[in-house]
């Protein structure tokens, strides 16, 4: 008799949400987390009284959490409280010094745009008027429904006919969608940067990501206590239902017999048998390292090998001794959409850092979490994190050697454009390089978004939530449908949990 009905590899949001739904259905479920901390990229760690979010820094689409806890029959607020973040972000163009903030209100954002691009204010309102009414239906029909075959895709359209209006977004790029509605360079840049939430530049990321800008106007939230509050809340709900979580339990092999998953083997040699195995780790890593070529048909293996990993996101963690002169939880330190696209081809793919006039400019997203929750830092002090854009493989250099210099260059970039004299107030500094993320979180090449999100890796072309090659094997997490980011991973966990419980009902 198997030890468990379900074993889940990985204690991230995708794995935990799947596990909670399986446990709710009466299935004996175990979550195995390789580290000593829950959440993976969506977590928080403490040092010297400063609490830093590892990666993820806000919550979009809070409805995904309501949907999960509705299915669990539990109160979301009890397990994961949220505080609204407004303004959404402060945008700073590092090349021209342009700066403005977008509030949550659609009308308020149009007013901001009207100050520097009057003709685009109406365009923004028209964009919002066209897509806001169909967002809810799109989320319900696309985010919580499996998309494992072309038949599934057809069913999605039949179920929600208005989806025809957004189908062109599946076969075009983020940049083309934005450029269709907006002509001003600054507005384009402020609408295009969200492509990097999917780990791709605007001209390669799937067009569907263009509506993220509108989803943000539905509300942005932060959990008091840090982003770890999210996975910890789901873990608590899972354990309240009778589930079990083990830490420092690294899985090295999925046990397969006759192309069916039978359990897992841990780093120390322990074998745990299970009727079903759910993996929330990188799909490419799962199939190539934990299962192996001998168990997978040649055509599936070929497809797995062809999958491209997402970009990594170098993270800088700063503790400062004062209240920084910022106005928003998020500050974007970026530039035009065209430069972001050129950065990818001229720098990223060549293993280089972005430069202006021969000097590094470290673009990225600054998060000021202690603005919302002062308890994250000692009294009178604050925490800042910086999520950057840089390749895993560096031409002629190594991340372990570059680390301190990269922090210096990032601080210098911020000082030039946003926070003068920042370096004088930094009393703690650290960084998680792409290599560090690979070591800590076991993300291959530091790929925090799993598989990239261009057109060839969306929907039916992503690794399926129910494996097509191995019976009793399921996938959750950023690598599978609908994709990376907190709402995408949570929705994927809901989908996978539904598949496991249905198949075992």
> pLDDT confidence of 199, banded at 50, 70, 90?
confident
Same domain assignment for residues 252 and 195? no
- Looking at 116-120, 133-137, 331-335, 501-505, which range is the least confident one? 133-137
Averaged over 348-359, what is the pLDDT?
Answer: 89
The SS3 call for residue 281 is coil
Burial 223-253 (b: 16+ CB within 10 A, else e): bebbbbbbbbbbbbbbeebebebeeebebee
The SS3 call for residue 245 is strand
- Are 177 and 122 contacting, i.e. CB atoms less than 8 angstroms apart? no
Stated as kind and residue range, the H or E segment containing 187 is helix 185-192
Q: Is the dihedral of CA 388, 487, 72, 25 positive or negative?
A: negative
424 in a domain, yes or no?
yes
The SS3 call for residue 141 is helix
Q: Quote the pLDDT of residue 338.
A: 83
Average pLDDT score over the chain = 91
pLDDT digits (tens, 9 = 90+) for 167-193: 777 778 888 888 889 999 888 888 877
The DSSP string of 377-416 is: SSTT-EEEEEEE---SSPTT--HHHHHHHHHHHHHHHHHH
Same domain assignment for residues 65 and 177? no
CATH number for the domain that contains residue 398: 3.90.660
Q: What does the angle CA 273 – CA 274 – CA 279 come to, to the nearest 5 degrees?
A: 110
d(CA 420, CA 70): 47
Same domain assignment for residues 239 and 284? yes
456 in a domain, yes or no?
yes
Q: Quote the pLDDT of residue 88.
A: 92
Is the pLDDT at 151 greater than 90, yes or no? no
Which of 374, 369, 409, 398 is closest to 385 using CA atoms? 369
For the chain, give the percent of residues with pLDDT over 70. Answer: 99
Same domain assignment for residues 314 and 198? yes
Q: Quote the pLDDT of residue 403.
A: 96
For the chain, give the percent of residues with pLDDT over 90. Answer: 66
38 in a domain, yes or no?
yes
314 in a domain, yes or no?
yes
Same domain assignment for residues 256 and 315? no
Q: Quote the pLDDT of residue 195.
A: 81
Same domain assignment for residues 331 and 397? yes
Structural domain ending residue among the three candidates 401, 417, 440: 440
> pLDDT confidence of 481, banded at 50, 70, 90?
confident
Averaged over 8-16, what is the pLDDT?
Answer: 97
Residues composing the chain: 505
Averaged over 290-310, what is the pLDDT?
Answer: 91
Same domain assignment for residues 121 and 71? no
pLDDT digits (tens, 9 = 90+) for 119-130: 999 999 999 998
Is the pLDDT at 40 greater than 70, yes or no? yes
pLDDT digits (tens, 9 = 90+) for 236-253: 999 999 999 999 999 999
Structural domain ending residue among the three candidates 400, 417, 440: 440
Same domain assignment for residues 72 and 141? no
> pLDDT confidence of 131, banded at 50, 70, 90?
confident
Residue with the bigger pLDDT between 97 and 450: it is 450
Q: What does the angle CA 217 – CA 218 – CA 224 come to, to the nearest 5 degrees?
A: 100
Q: Quote the pLDDT of residue 285.
A: 95
Which of 498, 499, 488 is closest to 65 using CA atoms? 488
Averaged over 282-291, what is the pLDDT?
Answer: 95
pLDDT digits (tens, 9 = 90+) for 398-451: 999 999 999 999 999 999 999 999 999 999 999 999 999 999 999 999 998 888
Same domain assignment for residues 303 and 379? no
Structural domain ending residue among the three candidates 408, 423, 440: 440
231 in a domain, yes or no?
yes
Number of domain units in the chain: 2
Same domain assignment for residues 197 and 338? yes
pLDDT digits (tens, 9 = 90+) for 63-89: 899 999 999 999 999 999 999 999 999
48 in a domain, yes or no?
no
d(CA 435, CA 392): 7
Domain hosting 342: range is 85-223+310-440
Q: Quote the pLDDT of residue 455.
A: 67
Averaged over 468-478, what is the pLDDT?
Answer: 96
CATH number for the domain that contains residue 60: 3.50.50.60
In sequence order, the 6+-apart residues with CB closer than 8 A to the CB of 318 are: 383, 384, 385, 386, 411, 422, 426, 428, 429
255 in a domain, yes or no?
yes
The DSSP string of 39-102 is: TTTS-EEEETTEEEESS---B--THHHHHHHHHHTS-HHHH---EEE-SSEEEEETTT--EEEE
Same domain assignment for residues 178 and 319? yes
Q: Which two tokens stand for residue 456?
A: 């060839």
- Give 206's DSSP letter: B
50 in a domain, yes or no?
no
Same domain assignment for residues 326 and 198? yes
- Are 432 and 54 contacting, i.e. CB atoms less than 8 angstroms apart? yes
In sequence order, the 6+-apart residues with CB closer than 8 A to the CB of 26 are: none
Averaged over 473-488, what is the pLDDT?
Answer: 91
Averaged over 202-208, what is the pLDDT?
Answer: 82
Residue with the bigger pLDDT between 20 and 303: it is 20
């Amino acid at each position: 008799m198997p030890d468990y009905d379900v074993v889940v590899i990985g204690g991230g949001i995708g794995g935990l949400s799947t596990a909670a739904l399986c446990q709710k259905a009466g299935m004996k479920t175990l979550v195995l987390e390789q580290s000593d901390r829950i959440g993976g990229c969506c977590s928080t760690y403490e040092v010297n009284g400063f609490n830093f979010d590892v990666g993820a820094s806000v919550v979009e689409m809070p409805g995904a959490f309501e949907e999960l806890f509705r299915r669990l029959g539990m109160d979301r607020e009890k397990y994961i409280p949220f505080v609204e973040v407004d303004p959404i972000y402060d945008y700073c163009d590092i090349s021209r010094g342009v700066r403005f903030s977008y509030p949550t209100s659609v009308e308020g954002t149009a007013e901001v745009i009207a100050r520097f691009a009057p003709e685009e204010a109406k365009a923004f309102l028209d964009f919002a008027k066209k897509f806001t009414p169909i967002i809810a239906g799109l989320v319900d029909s696309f985010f919580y429904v499996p998309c494992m075959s072309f038949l599934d895709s057809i069913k999605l359209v039949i179920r929600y006919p208005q989806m025809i209006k957004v189908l062109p977004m599946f076969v075009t790029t983020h940049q083309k969608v934005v450029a269709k509605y907006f002509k001003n360079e600054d507005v384009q840049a402020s609408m295009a940067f969200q492509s990097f939430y999917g780990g791709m530049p605007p001209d390669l990321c799937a067009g569907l990501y263009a509506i993220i800008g509108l989803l943000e106007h539905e509300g942005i939230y932060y959990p008091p206590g840090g982003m770890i509050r999210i996975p910890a809340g789901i873990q608590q709900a899972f354990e309240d239902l009778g589930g079990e979580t083990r830490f420092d339990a690294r899985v090295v092999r999925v046990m397969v017999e006759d192309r069916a998953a039978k359990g897992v083997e841990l780093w120390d040699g322990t074998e745990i048998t299970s009727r079903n195995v759910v993996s929330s780790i990188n799909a490419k890593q799962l199939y190539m390292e934990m299962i192996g070529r001998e168990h997978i048909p040649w055509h599936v293996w070929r497809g797995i090998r062809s999958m491209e990993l997402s970009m990594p996101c170098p993270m800088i963690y700063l503790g400062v001794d004062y209240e920084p002169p910022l106005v928003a939880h998020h500050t974007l330190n970026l530039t035009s959409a065209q430069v972001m696209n050129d950065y990818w081809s001229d720098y990223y793919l060549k293993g280089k850092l972005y430069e202006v006039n021969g000097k590094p400019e470290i673009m990225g997203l600054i998060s000021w979490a202690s603005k919302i929750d002062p308890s994250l830092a000692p009294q009178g002090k604050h925490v800042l994190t910086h999520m950057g854009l840089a390749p895993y493989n560096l031409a002629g250099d190594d991340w372990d050697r570059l680390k301190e210099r990269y922090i210096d260059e990032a601080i210098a970039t911020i000082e030039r454009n946003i926070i003068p004299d920042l370096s004088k107030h930094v009393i703690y500094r650290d960084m998680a390089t792409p290599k560090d993320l690979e070591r800590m979180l076991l993300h291959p090449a530091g790929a925090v978004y799993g598989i990239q999100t261009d057109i060839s890796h969306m929907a039916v072309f992503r690794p399926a939530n129910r494996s097509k090659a191995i019976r009793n094997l399921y996938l959750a997490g950023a690598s599978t449908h609908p994709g990376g980011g907190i709402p995408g991973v949570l929705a994927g966990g809901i989908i996978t949990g539904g598949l496991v419980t249905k198949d075992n009902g």
